[in-house]
Structure 1
Amino acid sequence: MIKAVIFDMDGTIIDSEPIYDKVNEEVYEKYGLDLKQEDHDRHLGANLKDIWTDILDRYQVKEEYAHYKLEDFMEDHIHSSYQGLAEAEELELMPGVEEWFEFFKDHGYQMVIASSSYSPVIEHIYQRFGLDQYMEGYVGADSIENGKPAPDIFLKAAEKLGVRAEECLVIEDSQHGVRAAHQAGAKVVAFNRAQDESQDLSQADLIIEEFNQENLNKVLE
């Protein structure tokens, strides 16, 4: 029996991906990095530690940044992401997702965010959209050891709510996220609004493209 709903954040409850694309482009250009599309596809849903570990394994940064440690690249990227979101006046919740929040709240489901973003970024979104009226907090990449596709973040989110992962429904938009939820033992709905063919969402129990009443009925079945 499902007692709680765990929401991914980026690309699931907020349409932040276009903002991050711009931020990422500026950050990578600063360090002299020319990433390929397959790099971006591979990084979707992963946390910055895993992303930068992968980048530094594959690419050379500009000589002036050769002394930087992994943490330096991450800190700069987190700050840039925060700034990018804060300056994006057009940023909104995904269409229909707030109606889902209302439904789950009215029907006694607990809710929490589990995001590969880091706490300062999640906190900004949490405050900006008043998510405290629905959610019981969040779990970010900085509070777990292994990022998605490892199940850590969803196990921690379930623990935060005092339920078992098997009693949770996870809503995710990335291949890494779907795999992580599946490994945690949760039910998982893949939100495929972008219809991104680079993401294999086949492990999801249900794939949707909109937060509407029809799809909510399918989830409840």
Structure 2
Amino acid sequence: MPLKAVLFDMDGVIVDTEPLHRKAYFRMFEDFGIDVSEELFTTFTGASTKRVCNTLIDTFGLEADHEDLARIKRHHFKNYFDTDPDFDLIPGVKSLIENYYDNGIKMVLASSAHMNTINWVFEKFELEPYFVGKISGADLQESKPHPEIFELAVQMAGEHREHCMVIEDSTNGIEAAHAAGIFCTAYQSAHSKNQDYTKANLSVFDFADIEFEKVKKYF
């Protein structure tokens, strides 16, 4: 039962856009005059912008629709994306992607991020040649922790789920992979705080620990 495909989350796994998203969200909160607690904000990790915006509308009784909130948030995010000097790939992930590519592993991106954001990241860091497909949770009916995004990613890879592995860093993403019945590696990033890794099959702090030669023994 060899490993044939790896399904990557993006935020917290390939890039750490969370600080940029955080800045953009809190600028948007200011624009709408709402006070979002750290406790509430933590629950948004790994969720689509649409789901976050709908939660805000319900919680704070906002008159705007989710697209209004999302548009303003994306405006702030793109500004930070283009100008923040600290924004870069997660250490070691480019080597991991190249390692899988050299070993004939198919790679699919399955992220809750908007497709615009995914494309900006792929263009900025020249990732397009390595991946066979990209899925944005923003285009789907359901959001992580629902398994829909990973079920579609398996189809996109053209492999059985038993031959696939998900790499995730958030509670919602790990639960989505678990619900889809796919082997899940939790990347314990320094940036991903207060996340629950208990449903992951494997947990690592360093991408070197899941290079093909080391991880194939699980399949």
Q: Same-fold call, TM > 0.5?
A: yes
Instruction: Label 1:91 to 1:201 Cα distance change in 2 as closer, same or farther (>3 A).
Output: same
Deviation at 1:106, TM superposition (A): 0.9
Cα pair 2:147 2:177 within 8 Å, conserved: yes
Are 1:179 and 2:167 matched, yes or no?
A: no
Unmatched runs of 5 consecutive residues or more in structure 2: none
Amino acid at match of 1:57: D
Partner in structure 1 of residue 55 of structure 2: 54
Q: Look up the SS of the partner of 1:149 in the other structure.
A: coil
Partner of 1:149: 145
Aligned with 1:134 (options 101, 124, 130)? 130
Aligned length: 215
Contact 1:149 1:179 in 2 (8 A): yes
1:30-69 matched pairs, under 5 angstroms: 30-61=31-62, 66=63, 68-69=64-65
Label 1:209 to 1:195 Cα distance change in 2 as closer, same or farther (>3 A).
Answer: farther
Once the 2 structures are TM-superposed, how far is the Cα of residue 178 of structure 1 from its aligned partner?
0.2
| 1:165 match | 161
Q: What is the aligned partner in structure 1 of residue 198 from structure 2?
A: 202
For the residue of structure 1 that corresponds to 2:55, the secondary structure is helix
| Aligned amino acid, residue 146 of structure 1 | E
- 1:75 maps to which residue? 71
The TM-score, its normalising length taken from structure 1, stands at 0.91
Cα deviation 1:84-137 (Å, max 9, x = unaligned):
212224311111111111111111100011110111111000111110121123
1:13 corresponds to which residue?
14
Larger deviation: 143-152 or 52-61?
52-61
**Matching residue of 1:106:** 102
Contact 2:50 2:138 (8 Å CA) reproduced: no
Cα distance, 1:196 vs. partner?
4.5
* Other structure's SS at 1:46 match: coil
Contact 2:170/2:192 (8 A) holds in 1: no
Taking the aligned partners of 1:69 and 1:170, their CA distance within structure 2 comes to 33
The Cα shift of 1:204 comes to 0.3
Q: Percent sequence identity over matched residues? A: 33
Superposition TM-score, scaled by structure 2 size? 0.91
Tell whether the 8 Å contact from 1:6 to 1:111 is kept in structure 2 after alignment.
Answer: yes
What is the alpha-carbon distance in structure 2 between the residues aligned to residue 219 and residue 23 of structure 1? 36
What displacement does 1:215 show? 4.3
State the SS of the aligned residue for 1:176. helix
Unaligned runs of 5+ in 1: none
Superposed displacement of residue 195, structure 1: 6.9
Does structure 1 retain, via aligned residues, the 8 Å contact 2:5–2:164?
yes
One-letter amino acid of the counterpart of residue 33, structure 1: I
Give the distance between the partners of 2:148 and 2:79, measured in 1 at CA: 28
Matches of 1:147 and 1:218 in 2, distance apart? 31
4+ residue segments displaced more than 4 Å: none
> What is the SS of the residue equivalent to 1:103?
helix
SS of residue in 1 equivalent to 2:207: coil
Q: CA deviation at 1:192?
A: 1.0
